[in-house]
Amino acid sequence: MVLTAILLGTMAAGIGSVWLAALLSFGALARYTQHMLSLAAGALLGTAFLHLLPEAFESQVAPDDLFATLLVGVVFFFLLDKAELWHHGHEHHGESSGHAHAPPDHDVAHGRSHDHPPGGWAILAGDSVHAFGDGILIASAFIADMRLGFVAALAVLVHEVPHHMGDLIVLRRQSANNRRIAIIKVSLAGAVTALGGVVGYALVDQLYAYLPFFLILAASSFMYVALADLIPQLQKRASMQETAAQIAWLTIGIGLVMAVSWLAHAH
């Protein structure tokens, strides 16, 4: 009975939050596509700095160990990003080798194309790690009390929506503007919540001590994508009106995470 409840709760939280985010990102907010990058950056930074890092540092783990994990995580996602860029650059080189008169493209020559911006693998890896940790948390709550488990699953579902909105925007661009592929990728990462729930059900006592490290690794991925991919794209010459809009949407992204965090802790 408990395991069934854990599976239902983790699937609802892990995948339900992605679908709800997709409805908002590609439905109600679809007309504001140009501003979604600012919203994504704000949501990812807000999730990292206002939720994941504080929760990790509330543990009994030494701060030096957590900061070292954060550094390793950032460097790892940098290398992962480099591998992704090299892979796409190699693909484009192979495609263009048979076209002697193909026009030069500075972005493609450096492995960057408009259809394949960096950050995709870092987002998915960070989401998967984060989802696994969420699954362990939900499993722990269900084991303690069934009602607490349902509240925890609902809190995770609502809490994940703002940053999943950012994930979907990044991955839609990374997938040649294909919304369906972006939703499938993030949904698969969200489904790892159920894996975390099953593993947590079996090994909750042994894995609970490692939760702070899961939180730090997830935070490092969101920080890297926001600061290395999204923010630089906003650092372009723009009018005062466009700059104000960027700042406003960035603030909205952070504000959404703050509001959901406050509601989650309040209940």
What's the pLDDT tens digit per position in 221-240? Answer: 778 878 887 788 777 777 88
pLDDT attached to residue 113 = 41
pLDDT attached to residue 246 = 87
Tell whether pTM > 0.75: no
pLDDT attached to residue 34 = 62
Give the tens place of pLDDT for each residue, 122-159.
Answer: 778 888 888 888 888 788 778 867 876 787 787 678 66
pLDDT attached to residue 158 = 67
pLDDT attached to residue 15 = 92
pLDDT attached to residue 71 = 96
Stretches in the chain below the pLDDT threshold 70 = 28-34, 84-119, 144, 148, 155, 158-159, 175, 264-267
**Lookup: tokens for 98:** 């048979």
